[in-house]
């Protein structure tokens, strides 16, 4: 629906990790609802749309992130919504975790979230309006064996959201977290299916998350009406 | 090359924007001696963030300078570059010369 009327008409949104999985679903949803979307990913675009701009970068590279937001500022002059979705996962017991993989998760999942949020907030602060949403994980709450670093980076990003919610409140920028449960994606396929199903079986609502489960909460946090909702984490599936 | 007067004008414009949002008893003096950060600072933390961001944006849009005023170098200084309008101006000029 290029240019069609929708709930995000005239909004500019940035989605990190927009090439696949949850990020691609969210970016496509924003586009379908009328937004101008800028997607970040390390590789080339998988979305084609008149209102989609793709920037290939590593969110853990702060200089690349700064340059991307300078470009966004020049092209669109404002930013309304940021979804921090980019993440990498290596599931391995801590005693066997390669240091390079641990560093990669910290750089992308935590520092990348900081770098992107910082530059996005500068743009949002010009108009004193913004909605920042982190895609969190049930791993931060459930702390499953094998996900020590991944869970810790997701927990750290949620803590970051809580602090930035306070620092950015004066700019009328809200910052919230959507804690996603197991969602069919390339990332999930790295993990043993029986392990995932065992975790899902323990949830109060024991099933995988759907696109609509995710978009429902994204729409809530991204809404103009949610101006009084910040520093919150909503987990899907009854995780807490 | 950007001049000191041009940098001051950008900082003054940022302070004027802050004043435009403040009440009559919240007005900040606009001069090169105005304290921005630390002892005697006239800005709260939110206003300082807003000013630094505005200055970065103006340096880029008006002069094509892509400077980050909040990087490691700023924190490593014995005296904060954000202390006064003068120190901020000098820091911008220093970064501009190195860019």
- What are the residue boundaries of the structural domains of chain A, listed by start? 12-235
Look up the CATH number of domain A12-235: 3.40.50.720
Q: How many CA atoms lie within 13 A of A155 on its CB side?
A: 13
Per-residue model confidence (pLDDT) at position A195: 86
Rounded to whole angstroms, the Cα distance separating A180 from A114 reads 19
Alpha-carbon distances, residue A156 vs A33, A105, A140, A153 (angstroms) = 31, 11, 9, 5
Sheet holding A81-84, edge to edge: A52-56, A36-41, A12-16, A81-84, A130-137, A173-180, A233-235
Is B49 in Cβ contact with A125 (below 8 Å)? yes
- For residues A222 and A12, the answer to whether their CB atoms sit within 8 Å is no
Report the pLDDT value the prediction gives residue A3, as an integer from 0 to 100.
43
Total count of domains within chain B? 1
Nearest CA in chain B to A78: B57
Q: How many CA atoms lie within 13 A of A114 on its CB side?
A: 15
Instruction: Measure CA A79 to chain center.
Output: 16
Q: Which residues of B touch A170 (CB under 8 A)?
A: 46
Question: Which pTM was predicted?
Answer: 0.89
Interface of B with A in 61-90 (CB under 8 A): 61, 66, 68
pLDDT at A192: 83
Instruction: Name the DSSP class of B26.
Output: G
Q: What is the CATH number for B91? A: 1.10.1200.10
A191 touches chain B (CB under 8 A): no
Which residue in chain B has the smallest CA separation from A167? B46
Question: In the prediction, which pLDDT does A1 show?
Answer: 44
Quick one: what percent of chain B has pLDDT higher than 90?
63
User: Smallest Cβ distance to A66: which of B50, B61, B68?
Assistant: B68
To probe the interface with B, which of A64, A68, A125 has the most B CB atoms within 10 Å? A125
Tell me, what's the pLDDT at B70? 85
Q: In what helix (H) or strand (E) does residue A106 lie, and over which residues does it extend? A: none
Minimal Cβ distance to A125: which of B45, B50, B61: B50
Q: How many angstroms separate the Cα of A14 from the Cα of each of A9, A94, B79, B89?
A: 14, 33, 36, 32
pLDDT along chain A (240 residues), means of 10: 73 97 98 98 96 98 95 92 97 94 98 97 93 97 94 97 96 97 87 88 96 98 98 96
Closest alpha carbon within chain A to B50? A125
Query: Low-confidence residues of chain B, pLDDT below 70?
Result: none
């Amino acid at each position: 629906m290029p240019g069609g009327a929708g709930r995000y008409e005239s909004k500019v949104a940035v989605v990190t990790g927009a090439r696949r999985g949850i990020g691609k679903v969210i970016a496509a949803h924003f586009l379908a609802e009328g937004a101008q979307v800028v997607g970040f990913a390390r590789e080339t675009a998988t979305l084609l749309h008149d209102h989609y701009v793709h920037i290939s970068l590593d969110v853990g590279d702060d200089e690349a992130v700064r340059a991307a937001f300078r470009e966004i500022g020049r092209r669109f002059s404002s930013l309304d919504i940021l979804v921090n979705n980019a993440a990498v996962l290596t599931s391995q017991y801590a005693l066997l975790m390669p240091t390079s993989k641990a560093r990669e998760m910290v750089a992308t999942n935590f520092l990348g979230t900081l770098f992107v949020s910082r530059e996005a907030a500068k743009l949002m602060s010009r108009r004193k309006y913004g909605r920042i949403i982190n895609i969190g994980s049930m791993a931060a709450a459930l702390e499953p064996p094998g996900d020590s670093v991944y869970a810790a980076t997701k927990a750290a990003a949620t803590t970051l959201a809580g602090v930035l919610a306070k620092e950015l409140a004066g700019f009328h920028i809200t910052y919230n977290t959507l804690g996603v449960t197991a969602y069919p994606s390339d990332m999930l396929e790295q993990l043993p299916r029986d392990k995932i199903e065992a975790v899902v079986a323990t949830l109060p609502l024991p099933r995988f998350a759907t696109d609509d489960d995710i978009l429902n909460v994204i729409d809530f946090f991204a809404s103009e009406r949610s101006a009084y909702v910040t520093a919150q984490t909503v987990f899907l599936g009854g995780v807490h | 090359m950007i001049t000191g007067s041009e940098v001051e004008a950008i900082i003054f414009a940022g302070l004027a924007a802050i004043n435009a949002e403040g009440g009559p008893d919240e007005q900040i003096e606009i001069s090169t001696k105005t304290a921005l950060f630390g002892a005697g600072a006239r800005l709260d933390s939110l206003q300082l963030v807003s000013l630094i961001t505005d200055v970065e944006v103006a340096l880029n849009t008006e002069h094509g300078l892509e400077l980050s005023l909040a990087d490691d170098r700023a924190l490593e200084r014995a005296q904060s570059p954000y202390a006064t309008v003068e120190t901020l101006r000098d820091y911008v000029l220093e970064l501009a010369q190195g860019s």
